[in-house]
Structure 1
Amino acid sequence: MTGVSPLRPGLLVAAAVLTVCAPKGSLAETSARVGVQVHPSDIAGLLLVFAATVAVLSGVSAPPRRALWAFGPLVLATGLATLCSPDITASLPGFIRVVQLFVLVPLAVLILVRDRRDALIPAGGVVAAGLFEGCYGVWQARTGNGASYAGENVRAVGTFGGTDVMALSVVAGLALIITLSFLLAGSWRLRLLAPAALLVLAAALALGLSRGAWIAIGAAAVLVLFAYSVRLALWTAVTAVSLLVVLAGGLGVGPGFDMLADRTRSLADITDAPDQSVVDRYSLWTAASGMWQDHPITGVGVKNFPAYRDTYAPIELSSAGEVADDDGYRRQPLLSPHNQYMLFLSEQGVLGLAGLLTLFGTLLYGVWAHRSPRDPLWLASAGLLTALLIDFLYSDLGGGGSVLVSIVIGLIAAGPTVWRRPGSAPA
């Protein structure tokens, strides 16, 4: 598995990345009937775990010692929160899901990615997935085949559908960060191809209309630019601000432009005049905060946020969100606070949040201690981690893109073994 054969581990990870693009089908519908959402990417993630287990048992690879300190506290905290849950049976599936997404899949990627090529191939897979979803999403927005926004089906959602409106923005945004990193520091061949890919991904991200993703990916892109060149970052920032001013002002050049202008202007109204989606999010955060205050150490139990939501939520909270796309209109229950940190705090208390922050802190330390701004893989890792940390303020890990995020966490964790050291020759 260490040679250049088609079975090299990087190809397995890239294949798992591409399964994120699988459309909704009978697997999801069947799993929904039994109360568990299963996506083809979940099966691919389990296969990665199986492959990593085989690699460890056969002596081909082994997890580094730092993995215990990164993932161990999270497993212990989530396990304790499950044992202390008022309903252990209800919390057990949540424990499995948290361990799958935050521990098993990232750890499998960390074990399988053993050299630079094994990291480059999945990175290319993320860009390929982003371009596929991006092209599909742009087509949806242009032809009115997306999810509903302001009464028209013009919101780009890709293959994820109206029930998972943020997934396309996550996939396209992560692909955009990788593409930008290779545009800045990659080989000349990649620099020739990157601008066109960047344009498609930026268009898809814009048409996904996710304000949280805009903020997260924008901040990550700024960090990547500053890490590479302060002068280039300042020039780009001035250009971007100018474009935002024009967009927020609106020039009346078409309904699509006006839609983006309205969505951009709404960023300034989040605190002064929030729309209903923002009101619901604030209400969910209030409910999560109340749960934590009453259950500070281990929370209300993994997967128990929906059961306690109405007890703690203010009256302004909607009973459900509204979804409309080609499959018709339906109401979608609000089952989480749409904030990963608040979700851990409410369901697992300070112990669970400490476990999550230990994982992210370990990743941050690895990125900082091995910084190499002229390596596109390091730039991508720094940008991806920044994007995830900020995006988790507005969303939580779930839906069709969740396994992709897990794989990205694993790629960041594997970084210290594949990043070039400053001053070393390009690989």
Structure 2
Amino acid sequence: MRAIVCRRRFASMTGTLSSARHAGDLATEAGWPERLRRICLYLFAVLPLMLLFSREGSEGIVVIIGLSFLAVIFARRRWDVLAQPLVAIPIAIWIFLMAVNTPFAWWDPPAVLGRAVPWLRFFCLFGAVVFWLFADERDFRKVAIAWGATFVFVVIDGTVQGITGTSLTGREIFLEQRLTGPLRRPNIGRYLAVLVYPGLAAFLVFGERNLDARRIAALFVTLAVVAFFITYTGERAAVVMSFGTVTLAALILMVQGRRFIVPGVIVTLLAGGVTVVTVILTARLRMRIDPTAEIAGDFWNSPYGELIRAGVTVWKVQPAVGVGLGNFDMVCEAWEPELVYGCLRHPHNIYLEWLAEGGAIGLAGFLAFFGVLAATVLGTLRLRTRRPLLTALVIACPVLTFIPFVPSQSFFSNWPAMVWWTSLAMTCAVAFHVRHRAEG
């Protein structure tokens, strides 16, 4: 018996039993991996705060977590984790970008290589968060509390900016129309929309079982505050993303049973009502109604419609392998020199960006990743009777990243990419954790 135990311990140390182990067990690796995991967990907890004040600090956190994840994988020979589709597909995409997209880049392959190589850090962060950082519900509690405190600060700082013209952190309103909060650019609404709902899902991991009337009321208040602030920022895309997520979550909740119909309707009406009232009561936002209506009424002659046409033109230059990461504006200027609004750095649509810069192959890889991610979150449906709120929210969260008709930031730029991958990682970590623990 002692010999069997010793062999099992040795196998655990060397990884020879990894094929029989579950990827979710990586978080239970003892010794130095456990100490390293705890450090990285706390770093991930403060990542949203760091994203507000220091891009270099944020990059450092992403790199440390990613390298630590790889160190544990290689030290413990946990190749089963790298074989998980959520990790394997991004690896395959990265190999394509390095081996095919870069050599065939339309302009400046060395510069394209410099953009493609660091892309590795994003899916290493993603894999670390999903499969390694969260060992139990207490870890989700720590991160949810840290994220929640950050979001409270963001709302207070931005609201003060909207009222006085200057935020608590000294930033002024962008062009007298859009809030920036602590950021230099008017992206605070998208920042909150993309991160707050996965953060709320992390709260539900440990909080849904103990929901009473007081906590349910607190959730409604939180939803109202989030809807208000995102609308108050003046970011139209963020409003659409946020309201789309809430509406989809409410619909998923309502189809789970009659007892959820009334709460689902209340949630939708609350989010929509707060949005409308905020616009009506804010002169700065009312000024944007007519320009928004003009864009919607003549979309194809608007800057966004022009960007879509330019994106298709750029894609046709090298349709299979793409023109290379970051080359959109260069190719656009060469092939569409007479655009009314000019060529921007990217087409402001993640699907068109993948198609133009990564080609049909790159877009196919991105869609494959989306399919695996969708399967991961949809897998929580089997827990809908025990986890109705969490199931609805986790399934709705990918709308924040993958909604196709909302103008987006670049998927390959450093800061937007860190926000996106952090959001996706938390969403999938919640889905993976609740499924793995339920199956275990």
Which amino acid in the other structure matches residue 232 of structure 2?
L
1:30-71 per-residue CA deviation (whole Å, 9 max, x = no partner) reads: xxxxxxxx5311110000012212322332966263235432
Does the Cα contact within 8 Å between 1:378 and 1:415 map onto a contact in 2? Answer: no
Question: For residues 129 and 51 of structure 2, what CA distance do their matches in structure 1 show?
Answer: 24
- Establish whether residue 362 from structure 1 lines up as the match of residue 372 from structure 2: yes
Question: For residues 222 and 404 of structure 1, what CA distance do their matches in structure 2 show?
Answer: 22
- Establish whether residue 111 from structure 1 lines up as the match of residue 124 from structure 2: no
- Establish whether residue 129 from structure 1 lines up as the match of residue 150 from structure 2: yes
Q: CA deviation at 1:19?
A: 3.5
**How big is the alpha-carbon RMSD for the aligned residues of Structure 1 and Structure 2?**
3.7
1:301-352 per-residue CA deviation (whole Å, 9 max, x = no partner) reads: 12211221222346444458xxxxxxxxxxxxx3111111111111110011
- Establish whether residue 388 from structure 1 lines up as the match of residue 394 from structure 2: no
Which amino acid in the other structure matches residue 377 of structure 2?
V
Aligned residues: 388
- Establish whether residue 65 from structure 1 lines up as the match of residue 90 from structure 2: no
Which amino acid in the other structure matches residue 74 of structure 2?
L
Does the Cα contact within 8 Å between 1:52 and 1:111 map onto a contact in 2? Answer: no
Which amino acid in the other structure matches residue 303 of structure 1?
G
TM-score (norm 2): 0.75
Give secondary structure in 1 for the equivalent of 2:348: coil
Question: For residues 326 and 187 of structure 2, what CA distance do their matches in structure 1 show?
Answer: 21
Which amino acid in the other structure matches residue 403 of structure 1?
M
Match of 1:413 among 428, 432, 435: 428
Q: Which runs of 5+ in 1 are unaligned?
A: 29-37, 321-333
Q: CA deviation at 1:295?
A: 1.1
Which amino acid in the other structure matches residue 45 of structure 1?
V
Does the Cα contact within 8 Å between 1:113 and 1:411 map onto a contact in 2? Answer: no
Residue 298 of structure 1: aligned partner: 321
Alignment of 1:97-176 (within 5 A): 97-101=118-122, 103-117=123-137, 118-145=139-166, 146-148=171-173, 151-152=175-176, 155-162=178-185, 165-176=186-197
Alignment of 1:161-310 (within 5 A): 161-162=184-185, 165-176=186-197, 178-179=199-200, 185=208, 187-188=210-211, 191=216, 193-230=218-255, 231=261, 232-241=263-272, 250=280, 253=281, 257-264=282-289, 266-272=291-297, 279-310=302-333
1:182-234 per-residue CA deviation (whole Å, 9 max, x = no partner) reads: 57946337546444544443333112211111111111111212222351223
Q: Which runs of 5+ in 2 are unaligned?
A: 1-26, 256-260
Does the Cα contact within 8 Å between 2:105 and 2:112 map onto a contact in 1? Answer: yes
Q: CA deviation at 1:412?
A: 3.3
Question: For residues 228 and 133 of structure 2, what CA distance do their matches in structure 1 show?
Answer: 31
Cα distance, 1:71–1:147 mapped onto 2, change above 3 Å: same
Q: CA deviation at 1:175?
A: 0.7
Q: CA deviation at 1:124?
A: 4.0
Residue 323 of structure 1: aligned partner: none
Residue 84 of structure 1: aligned partner: 104
Question: For residues 403 and 224 of structure 1, what CA distance do their matches in structure 2 show?
Answer: 24
Which amino acid in the other structure matches residue 280 of structure 1?
P
Question: For residues 344 and 418 of structure 1, what CA distance do their matches in structure 2 show?
Answer: 30
Cα distance, 1:123–1:317 mapped onto 2, change above 3 Å: farther
Cα distance, 1:313–1:419 mapped onto 2, change above 3 Å: farther
Residue 404 of structure 1: aligned partner: 419
Which amino acid in the other structure matches residue 59 of structure 1?
R
Cα distance, 1:259–1:229 mapped onto 2, change above 3 Å: same
Does the Cα contact within 8 Å between 1:131 and 1:172 map onto a contact in 2? Answer: no
1:114-134 per-residue CA deviation (whole Å, 9 max, x = no partner) reads: 534344443444333322222
More helix as a share of residues: 2
**Larger RCO (CA under 8 A, 6+ residues apart):** 1
Q: CA deviation at 1:83?
A: 2.2
Cα distance, 1:197–1:14 mapped onto 2, change above 3 Å: farther
Which amino acid in the other structure matches residue 114 of structure 2?
P
Question: For residues 181 and 53 of structure 1, what CA distance do their matches in structure 2 show?
Answer: 24
Question: For residues 327 and 126 of structure 2, what CA distance do their matches in structure 1 show?
Answer: 25
Does the Cα contact within 8 Å between 2:319 and 2:360 map onto a contact in 1? Answer: yes
Does the Cα contact within 8 Å between 2:101 and 2:324 map onto a contact in 1? Answer: yes
